[in-house]
Amino acid sequence: MLGRLNHVALAVPDLAAATAAYRDTLGARVTAQQALPEHGVTVVFIDVGNTRIELLEPLGEGSPITAFLEKNPSGGMHHVCYEVDDILAARDRLKASGARVLGDGNPRTGAHGKPVLFLHPKDFFGTLVELEQA
Ligand code: CO
């Protein structure tokens, strides 16, 4: 069921500063900022060849990463995203095995225009897991 690592997401308190550090200090290729109001985040993607890094900054009230940044003020790893071929089949299999799907259990459109789901970190050893239909 589980496919490639699509991205690792890092929550950061200052997206412009984090983008500059990756671009200028680490010499990485970075995208322009992309506001995703329906997800409560602004994102920048960094292409590292075999996968991507997703930098996340809170956007608007009630952002899902605000509480994370309160606990981790300098930022930190927020989630890992794996690809699946069929997100509804993956969801049904996970639910049948007792894993908790966040939200209403229906896929939403993620940053790449593809359907995504998030799985409860307590079911996966403390790491929030995103699944994206490839
Ligand atoms: Co993500």
The tens digit of pLDDT for each residue in 35-63 reads 999 889 999 999 999 999 999 999 998 89
Which tokens belong to 90?
């993956």
Residue with tokens 């509480």: 67
Note down the domain range covering 95. 2-133
In this prediction, residue 93 carries a pLDDT of: 97
In this prediction, residue 97 carries a pLDDT of: 96
Ligand 1 center–CA 8 separation, angstroms? 7
In this prediction, residue 112 carries a pLDDT of: 82
Question: How many domains in the chain?
Answer: 1
132 has catalytic annotation: no
Q: Which helix (H) or strand (E) holds 16?
A: helix 15-20
**C-alpha dist (Å) from residue 42 to 5, 47, 70, 91, 118:** 21, 17, 17, 26, 18
N- to C-terminal Cα separation, the chain: 12
Q: What is the mean pLDDT of residues 19-47?
A: 95
Nearest-angstrom CA–CA distance, 41 and 24:
23
Catalytic residue among 54, 83, 130, 132: 130
Ligand 1 center–CA 37 separation, angstroms? 14
- Ion ligand 1: residues, CB within 5 A, are 9, 81, 130
Ligand 1 center–CA 98 separation, angstroms? 23
Q: What CATH number is given to the structural domain containing 18?
A: 3.10.180.10
